[in-house]
Amino acid sequence: MNLFHRGPGRVTVREAAEHTGHGPAAEGKGGTGDALLLDVREPCEWQAGHAPGAVHVSLSALAAGVSLPAEAQGRPLVVICRSGNRSRQAAELLVARGAPAVDVIGGMREWLRAGLPVVDQQGMNGTVA
């Protein structure tokens, strides 16, 4: 299923996990997905806990015109924040810039509720701030 064909769509955490290599189906494939998870929360939130392998650029930085990191350029992006509000804004901004992007309904709160992995900046069990 192509999540990125209609502009800034929305996906569930399960769909996000599947397409970014975090879900059970991805484990048998070596843990890689076809899209990159982009976390747009502020640095203190990111440091408290984020999905392993996610890339971080805050919404405020994106809005200020900061470019995506090299590993995010040219890739489909699944954008996540704490609850889904900032990620929706970021996905709209990224699509307007020509990047394929969708946002995650419920954000990291729903990610954690779904039992998906969250690590802190040291790689230990993290929390959603």
Q: Give kind and range of the element (H or E) at residue 34.
A: none
| Cβ atoms of residues 97 and 63 within 8 Å | no
Calpha distance 128→107 (Å, rounded):
10
- Domains of the chain listed by start with CATH number: 9-113 (3.40.250.10)
81 is catalytic: yes
pTM assigned to the model: 0.90
pLDDT of residue 91: 96
pLDDT of residue 19: 93
Calpha distance 10→26 (Å, rounded):
20
Set 81, 90, 91, 118: catalytic member: 81
Going from the C-alpha of 85 to that of each of 23, 30, 93, the distances in angstroms are: 23, 31, 13
pLDDT of residue 32: 57
Tens-digit pLDDT string for the chain (129 aa): 466 665 569 999 999 999 999 876 544 443 457 899 999 999 999 999 999 999 999 999 999 999 999 999 999 999 999 999 999 999 999 999 999 999 999 999 999 999 999 999 999 999 998
pLDDT of residue 6: 57
